[in-house]
Each structure stands twice: as structure tokens, then as C-alpha cells.
Amino acid sequence: MGFGKVGSEVARRAKGLGMHVIAHDPYAPADRARAIGAELVSFDEAITRADFISLHMPLIPTTNKIFNDESFGKMKTGVRIVNVARGGVIDEDALVRALDSGKVAQAALDVFTVEPPAKDSKLVLHENVTVTPHLGASTVEAQEGVAIEIAEAVVGALKGELAATAVNAPMVPAEVMSELAPYVSLAEKLGRLAVQLVAGETGIKGVKVAYTTTRGPDDLDTRLLRAMVTKGIVEPVSSTFVNLVNADYTAKQRGLRITEERVSHDSATAEAPLESIQVRLSQVQSKFAGAISDGGDIVLEGRVKYGVPHLTLVGPYEVDVSLEGNLILCRQIDQPGMIGKVGNILGQRNVNINFMSVGRTFRGKQAIMAIGVDEEPNKESLDEIGAIPAIEEFVFLEL
């Protein structure tokens, strides 16, 4: 009961013990519960179904004595209760009655309505109650754990890693961060590719990010992904270091108007948080015409496959190339031998190809070849590729 930092940590450990975890917290994001494997339910459903009840809720007017005679009456006979939250959330007289009747088999309490409790407290003296003197985080182990956690968070932030505990950034729980990790990389790389396709001096003004997902608005927090798209667009063309804290401010400073769209994707078996991410740059010129969609925008789309970001759409062309290393895009006439010609040029210059994909609109018409390379080809290699008669344009993109 209460699914914040402590409640979710207890849930994780309970899952490790093979328990089925349900949780009640009107403010808990569904994506955090989903990542841990907990089921969010109503207050009445939680107390009715539970065999063990662990309290981690604040003491506010709506939770004051929320565990009372009526609440205990709805619980299973023999339920066990642990309260390490606030003493006032339990009506202590009602708990004694529930213990005496056997409705509550055992209670473990670290907190009380009045602290310290009276020496003759029926609750403290009850044979089925275990008490501790509001230890909270006041143990040697807890103090050491907090110190280590702070040190690791500072080191991670200085290394440029995302900080889940930053007080001036959106809170992204560790479970959600872990689930979104490959999509974070995909979002940044799509932004990084898109900005390198922009030509001219007009600059980027409008950016639209579309997320195709089976999840509802409450099940997917996209702030982290939006920040990484901003990071990918801004960092290659400036000295600014973009992170979750300053991403929106940086975008505003540079006149970047970033809008987001959630595209519903129906799939009964989909477990991944996202099906795909699309980045669309509007009102810009492109140095690679093949990346322009029918609507005149630069469009790139990608998805995560086996934990690895893949580019799956360039303008109107479907491709499938792993976003590792660097990327060469070639727009060509669709004809035999093109893959071999480009591969031979790169092979002769000792440039290793890690992935290659060709997408076309119609047979014998135009096609796009997307080539992933481990090394950066020199100018002579790229010029030689561009000199192939059937190749209409090409671009080298750094990841």
C-alpha cells in the first residue's frame, strides 16, 4: 500500500520470493508497476485479496486511520500487516481488536500514532505484534547504503549517464529506465541522423516525434525519449551537452518546437513498450532527397530488435539496418549488381560492412541502400561510390 521508492523496492523483493504482488497507490505510474511485474488495483481490492499487507503511504488527511474496523473487516482472516510508513494510517485500537479476533494473525510495526508509545500499550504488549523503535533508515547498513547510492549517482552523472534521482529533472524510476534503455539509444540516434540530413541555412524549427505503442498515455512516459531526440539533434551541431535536466530548456533556446504524437498499435502479444519511433523534420531542405517523404518532410523511423536499435524507414523507403557504427545511404536505380559494386569499393579500402539493407518503391525504379560500416570511409572511397552511374545520390552519416 503505497508504491513509491520504498514500496516498489519491497515489491521487487517480494517478486523474488515468488509472491504475486498487487499494489495500491493512486499516484503511481502504471509503467513503473508494469516494469516490476506488480498489478495496480483499488484500495478495497488490495485489502480484500492480500495475504500480506506492507504499508508505505504518507500520513495525509485521506490516509489518516484508513486502516480501521471497516478495513480490517474486509480482509482475509489470518492476514499479516507490516507498517513502516506512518503510525497514524492505522487505527491502533481497531488493530488490537483485529488481532484479538484472529482477523489479523500478526503485525510488525516500526511506527506508532504517538511516539514513543505508552509502556502499557496493548498493541506493543500483544503477543502477536513485533515492534521496533521507529528505526527507519537509522541503521548502520542503511546509512552506508545511502552513502554508496549518492556516490554512484554523482559518478554516473559526471560520466554523462541519466540520473534517475535528479531533483531538477523528471523522475524516471530505475525499472522504467531499464525498460526504455534501448529506445533511449534509438531516439538519440534518430535525432543524430536527422540533423545530418538537413541542408541549407534555414535551421530546424519543427520536430515531430511519433511513438507507435500498445500502451495508453498513463503507461508510457515519453519525456526521457523526447530529451534524447533533442540531444541527438542539438549535440552534433553545437558545443552544448544535452541531458534530461536541460533538454526542454535547450530546445526552447534554439527555437526547436518539438511535438509528440502517440500512435495506437493493437497487439495482444506485444510486451515491448514501443513498436517504433519516428522523427519528422518539417520545413527544411535535405542534402539527401531520398529521405523526403511524400509530405515534404525529412522522415526517419526505427525500432528495437533483439535489444539493438534499427533504422527501418528513410523517407518512403523501408530498410532494416542496425544502428551500430556509421551509416551510408545511397539512392539508386534498382538494378542487379549494385550491392556488389558498393561492397567491392569498401572492401578494397578495408572498410568493414556490418549491415546492409535495400528498400525500394517499385521493381526497377528507385531504391535506397542503407549500409552500416565500422570505419569511416575516406573521401576517395565515397567519391568512387558516388561515381557509380546508377547511384543518384549518397550521404555518409556518423553515429
Question: Could you list the active site residues?
Answer: 86, 115, 134
Q: What is the rounded CA–CA span in Å between residue 2 and residue 25? A: 5
Greatest CA separation found in the chain?
A: 95
Q: What is the rounded CA–CA span in Å between residue 352 and residue 354? A: 6
94 within 8 A of 69, measured Cβ to Cβ: yes
CA proximity to 107, closest of 95, 93, 91, 125: 95
111: its cell numbers: 511506527
Please report which residue ranges of the chain form alpha helices under DSSP H: 5-16, 30-36, 43-49, 69-74, 92-101, 122-125, 140-158, 174-196, 223-234, 247-253, 338-348, 379-386
124: its cell numbers: 506493543
Contacts by residues 242-251 (CB-CB < 8 Å, ≥ 24 positions apart): 243/160, 243/162, 243/163, 243/169, 244/162, 244/163, 244/166, 244/169, 244/170, 244/172, 245/163, 245/166, 245/168, 245/169
72 within 8 A of 95, measured Cβ to Cβ: yes
Q: Which amino acid is at 323?
A: L
Phi, psi for 104 (deg, rounded to 5):
-105, 120
253: its cell numbers: 533556446
